[in-house]
Amino acid sequence: MREKIVNFFCLMCVIILTLSVISCSSPAQKDETNTANQGSASEKLVIKGLLDKEVSIGTDELKTMQQVEKKVTAVDSAGKKTDYTVKGPLFDDVLKKYGKSQKELKGIRLVAGDGYSIEVPADVLKNRDIILALVVDGKELDSRSKPMRAVVPDERAMYWVKNLTAIEVLENVEKAEAKRVIFIDTVPSSVPVQEYNYYESKDKAFKTCDLLNKFKGNLDSDFLFIKSTDKLMKNETKDNFLKGYIKFTGTDSPAFVSDVLPVGMQVKNVLWFSYGEDVYFSAAGSLTYFEKISLDGKDGVKLSDITKEAGTSSSAKYVLTGVDGYTSEIESKDLENGLIYNDEKDGVSIYFKDLPKNTNIKGLLSISAKD
């Protein structure tokens, strides 16, 4: 009996251990047959998380509601503009049927049948209309956009979700306070790296899954925040994030890329992304993002610009860790005097003019708040 109990516990331990490690096997290739939702899309919209039970509303019913007709301009990430006239009911009017209003929602995720999805944050919900477009330029939607397209006038086309099939109403997503900054530029020497085909070029990338497994702190989270150097801030679900790679060479680097997600979900020129208490920061990106300074012949940016942008928690002391495991300690007042620069030989490095030489680290991996 006793042996059985012990065995049982061992088994449980193994299960728990396996669960806490994210499996990094190659994600399944994009399944071209899995397009059941496209074209022959079921003609309805499912809304989850609004009421206790999910609700669904057919396009027939949407057509009977008050229709808004509006000339709109779509702007994509490359700045390309396209004009349309769209017609359909307002999402807010749909919500009213259920006694809710768009302004009171904390966030929603627009989900398409082709795997595309994007979170619309509270400030957009507060200030913009969301039109559930059923007609574009006087015509029925094409098969790739059916059953409806979300159109958010005056916001970027990334929110204009074609083939919209579901809307998930989200709870307030709280962002944990950052305790550690990890430099993306230095990560490749600690995780498996592979070749990645990005359009016509062969670049290098590592799996997001390997990254989180390597550095995962105590705090798990279902979401990540990603900011690019063009100031675009985006939330991504952990599930989606784990389907990709961080590409760190070639154009648009560092970039969140994936060979299974729609291309529109990739994020180019990442400045940082955060997961739990960790903020993964691009030192290369910071050199284009922050004001450059020069110190004793080294060109870089202030460490405090990075820690402020990352929202690093205040702490009396911070620990700097090099890629070789070497550590040094600094005080909070030193953040202002640290220079982050790129050393030709050793990559991301830190230099303090007035501190002992052993605080300077070449091949800097991370900065952690000590308490």
Ligand X SMILES: Nc1nc2c(c(=O)[nH]1)N[C@H]1C(S)=C(S)[C@@H](COP(=O)(O)O)O[C@H]1N2
Site residues, Mo ion (CB under 5 A): 76-77, 158, 264
- CA pseudo-torsion sign 84, 148, 262, 130: positive
- 227's contact among Mo ion, ligand X, none, with CB below 5 to 8 A by partner kind, is none
CA geometry: angle at 222 spanning 210 and 100, to 5°?
A: 155
Separation of alpha carbons 102 and 97, rounded Å: 12
From the list Mo ion, ligand X, none, partner contacted by residue 350 (C-beta under 5 to 8 A by kind): none
Which partner in Mo ion, ligand X, none is near 331 (CB below 5 to 8 A by kind)? none
- 361-362 and 201-207 as β-strands: parallel, antiparallel, unpaired? unpaired
For residues 35 and 146, give the distance between their C-alpha atoms in angstroms, rounded to a whole number.
Answer: 12
**Residues forming the site for ligand X (CB under 6 A):** 76-77, 112, 114, 116, 157-158, 160-163, 262, 264
Q: Which is nearer to Mo ion, 267 or 306 (CB)?
A: 267
CB of 264 to ligand X, least distance (A): 3
Least CB distance from residue 74 to ligand X, whole Å?
6
Minimal distance in Å, beta carbon 276 to ligand X? 27
Give phi and psi for 320, each to the nearest 5.
-100, 135
Among Mo ion, ligand X, none, what binds residue 278 when CB lies within 5 to 8 Å by partner kind? none
Kindly tell me the burial class for residue 260, based on how many C-beta atoms sit within 10 Å of its own C-beta (0-12, 13-18, 19 or more).
middle
Residue with Cβ nearer ligand X (160 or 352): 160
Nearest residue relative to ligand X (C-beta):
264
Q: Which does 148 bind (CB under 5 to 8 A by kind): ligand X, Mo ion, none?
A: none
Rounded to a whole number of angstroms, the minimum distance from the CB of residue 244 to ligand X is: 15
Q: Which of 301, 285, 273, 284 is nearest to 215 (CA)?
A: 273
Nearest-angstrom CA–CA distance, 207 and 238: 13
Residue 342 contacts residue 183 (beta carbons within 8 Å): no
Query: What, of Mo ion, ligand X, none, does residue 309 touch, CB below 5 to 8 Å by kind?
Result: none
- Closest CB to Mo ion among residues 158, 164: 158
- Cα angle value 196/202/207 (rounded, 5°): 15
Picked from Mo ion, ligand X, none, the partner binding residue 161 (CB below 5 to 8 A depending on kind) is: ligand X
Rounded CA-CA distance 303/334 in Å is 9
Distance (Å, rounded) from C-alpha 197 to C-alpha 263? 13
257 binds, among Mo ion, ligand X, none (CB under 5 to 8 A by kind): none
Least CB distance from residue 164 to ligand X, whole Å?
7
Q: Which is nearer to Mo ion, 100 or 144 (by Cβ)?
A: 144
Measured from the CB atom, the residue of 162 and 179 that comes closer to ligand X is 162
Q: Which does 50 bind (CB under 5 to 8 A by kind): ligand X, Mo ion, none?
A: none
CB of 110 to ligand X, least distance (A): 8
Whichever of 153 and 264 has its CB closer to Mo ion, that residue is 264
Nearer to Mo ion, 67 or 77 (CB): 77
Sheet holding 298-302, edge to edge: 293-295, 298-302, 338-343, 347-352, 361-362
The least distance separating ligand X from the CB of residue 262, rounded to whole angstroms, comes to 3
Compare residues 87 and 268 and give the one whose CB is closer to Mo ion: 268
In angstroms, what is the minimal distance from the CB of 186 to Mo ion?
A: 30
Instruction: Evaluate whether 244 touches 238 at the Cβ level (below 8 Å).
Output: no
Closest approach of ligand X to the CB of residue 112, in Å: 3
| Helix, strand, coil fractions of the chain, as percent rounded to 5 | 25, 35, 40
**Angle at the Cα of 253 (from 252 to 257), degrees rounded to 5?**
85
* Closest to Mo ion by CB, 26 or 82: 82
